[in-house]
């Protein structure tokens, strides 16, 4: 059976909803009266939830702190994903708190703390065990905990001959050397080229021994580069109103890998990922897309 193993930074996305009836007399800022709160699983959790909802058995490995936010994140996941291991570490759980009034995103507060590499030893042991049964690995790097062991994550996947895709946060891509696929957004890609002396896309891949790259470009769509094909493939996004882009990159990554696992050609994988990412952008919050929301294309399968 095809399986996806997601490893990376788990994040609690907390949304505080309310009304802003007036401005503060103390400063030119709105006064928000909070009327509701919603907790959603973000980061690597969101990648895993989307892959699972798109019809592929998915296992998640990550870390949380020994705090209330960690308990809240576990509780949020329990109702949506059956296979996950969130190891407790000596660092606080990463929480992104967004304040929203109507459709207006007013502010985001981040609470985060990076753990030490030795705190990830149990995580890597579980990863080494579970990767053997995986068809694909997705490394979701949000720059919180896992960059110190990125090389080991990729090395283990390579040794087991399991393809690995990376959502990068570090602009120095030597950290991701040996990955099969890297999926940066446009800003992350341009930052990486600057750090690599303005290398061309193919030179950037060759320099870091990465086979393929998909650049997600928001409303402009996605562009695929491969060391094999040498020429890029671009697919535009469907024009639509964007309400909240939060989590769209996670959704795009999940859909890309699901498409690959279903044997679709890269053009159809890009179209599928564009549609999935666009679907969540039309909704407020960290949203999960299902195979009912975005049906898998049934054409141009790889022979």
Is 187 marked active-site? no
Would you say how long the chain is, in residues?
303
Instruction: Find the DSSP H helices in the chain.
Output: 44-53, 68-78, 121-130, 150-159, 186-195, 201-207, 248-261, 266-281
Burial (Cβ within 10 Å: 0-12, 13-18, ≥19) of residue 150: buried
- Asked whether the beta carbons of 12 and 73 are under 8 A apart, the reply is yes
d(CA 298, CA 301) in angstroms, rounded, equals 7
Distance CA 96, CA 154 (A): 27
**Exactly one of 250, 268, 271, 293 is catalytic; which is it?**
250
Burial of residue 148 (number of CB atoms within 10 Å: 0-12, 13-18, 19+): middle
Burial class (CB in 10 A: 0-12, 13-18, 19+), 195: middle
Residues identified as active-site: 250
């Amino acid at each position: 059976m095809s399986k996806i193993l997601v490893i990376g930074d788990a994040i609690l996305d907390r949304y505080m909803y309310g009304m802003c009836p007036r401005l503060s007399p103390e400063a030119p800022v709105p006064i928000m009266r909070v009327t509701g709160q919603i907790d959603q699983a973000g980061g690597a959790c969101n990648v895993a939830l989307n892959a699972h909802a798109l019809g592929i058995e998915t296992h998640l490995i990550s870390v949380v702190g020994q705090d209330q936010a960690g308990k809240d994140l576990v509780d949020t996941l329990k109702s949506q994903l059956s296979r996950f291991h969130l190891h407790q570490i000596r660092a606080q759980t990463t929480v992104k708190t967004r304040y929203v009034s109507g459709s207006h995103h007013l502010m985001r507060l981040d609470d985060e703390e990076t753990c030490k590499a030795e705190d990830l030893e149990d995580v890597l042991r579980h990863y080494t065990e579970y990767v053997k049964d995986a068809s694909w690995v997705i490394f979701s790097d949000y720059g919180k905990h896992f960059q110190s062991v990125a090389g080991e994550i990729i090395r283990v996947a390579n040794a087991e001959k399991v393809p690995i895709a990376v959502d990068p946060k570090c602009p120095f891509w030597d950290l991701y050397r040996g990955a099969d696929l890297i999926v940066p957004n446009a800003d992350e890609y341009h930052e990486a080229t600057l750090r690599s002396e303005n290398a061309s896309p193919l030179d950037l891949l060759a320099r870091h021994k990465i086979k393929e790259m998909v650049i997600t470009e928001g409303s402009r769509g996605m562009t695929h580069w491969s060391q094999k094909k040498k020429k890029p493939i671009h697919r535009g996004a469907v024009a639509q109103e964007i309400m909240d882009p939060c989590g769209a990159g996670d959704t795009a990554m999940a859909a890309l890998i699901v498409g690959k696992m279903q044997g679709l050609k890269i053009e159809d994988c890009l179209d599928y990922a564009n549609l999935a990412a666009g679907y969540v952008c039309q909704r407020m919050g960290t949203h999960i897309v299902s195979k009912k929301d975005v049906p898998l294309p049934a054409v141009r399968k790889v022979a």
